[in-house]
Amino acid sequence: MNIQNIFTIFLGAINKNRALIQTHIGNNPDAHTIANYTQHGFLSRQDKMMYDGRARFISTPTSIFDLDEGLYASAGNFLDKPSEVDESYSIVRVIGSGENGQKIITYYWINARKTYTAYKSYGDERPVWFNPMYIQVTMLGGNTATTNELFVDKTGHANVVNIHLAGPLQLTNGGYTSVANLGAGRLFPKKTISFAVSATNSTGGFCTVNMQITSNGVINIINSSGTSIKAFDANVTYYLKSEASRAVESL
């Protein structure tokens, strides 16, 4: 066999392999068929997005702090969870997991609609959960509330206090009543602060009443809406600072 024949055979083999490679890489739309119920294949972009967003279920007791980066779900098998959390279904997201093990871990307590965060730095064996402090607000004068909670979180050098009170309240126009007490003295504002909050009038329409939080932690509702009310829904936030409190938002 002469050199020319060898070269021709060699070049033919190269061209054949190149054609196969180009076809497989995707010039042919069928080169990467998507898997379905009857045949194997590749993962579609949509399926990949769904797969990445699905939490891996933890079926055996596992420390949250030992989880690698990812999204996890469990009902009762998360160890080292926040102390007040029960065994109900929860989701954990872990990001980071660098060479030194730094992680940010977020715990979602689904039933209670509460979120907790832990930060694992280099050398930490057991991080501390950094989470809002939830407190039941003490109702006064026979008043009840369907939603009755308070939480505290930190931002910068201030405590952020959020109070959510909602429930029935019979109060005529011009009426004034004390509905609750914060209970925890360190959460009292330095001076009385006021918010405009939503209420339901006697005919089922919406109106606005005044919610007042005094410096001794008493929560008052003052009705100057022009009509009687039968319920209210207050979700208010304020900062606790060393000098004074100030309202930051009324939702």
> CA-to-CA distance for 145 and 139, rounded, in angstroms?
8
pLDDT band at 119 (very low <50, low <70, confident <90, very high): confident
CA-to-CA separations, 126 to 65, 66, 82, 120, 133, in angstroms, rounded: 7, 10, 12, 8, 20
| Count of helix runs (H) and strand runs (E) in the chain | 2, 18
> CA-to-CA distance for 230 and 100, rounded, in angstroms?
57
Confidence at residue 173, expressed as pLDDT on a 0 to 100 scale: 94
> What DSSP assignment string belongs to 52-71?
HTSPEE--S-EEGGG--SEE
Q: What is the pLDDT of residues 210-227, one digit of tens each?
A: 999 998 889 999 999 999
Nearest to 176 by CA among 191, 188, 194: 194
Confidence at residue 91, expressed as pLDDT on a 0 to 100 scale: 95
Ordered structural domains, the chain, with CATH: 45-130 (no CATH), 134-250 (2.60.40.2460)
Check: CB of residue 89 under 8 Å from CB of residue 110: yes
> Quick one: tokens of 215?
């410096």
Nearest to 173 by CA among 129, 221, 125, 135: 221
Confidence at residue 157, expressed as pLDDT on a 0 to 100 scale: 42
pTM of the model: 0.48
Q: What is the pLDDT of residues 13-46, one digit of tens each?
A: 777 777 666 655 555 555 567 777 677 777 777 7
> CA-to-CA distance for 62 and 60, rounded, in angstroms?
6
Q: Among the residues of 55-159, which ranges form H helices?
A: none
The whole-number average pLDDT for the span 83-111 is 84
Nearest to 80 by CA among 128, 31, 148, 20: 128
Which residues make Cβ contacts (< 8 Å) with residue 62, sequence separation at least 6? 74, 77, 78, 79
> What DSSP assignment string belongs to 182-235?
---GGGS-SS-EEEEEEEEETTS-EEEEEEEE-TTSEEEEE--SSS-EEEEEEE
- On average, the pLDDT of the chain sits at 78
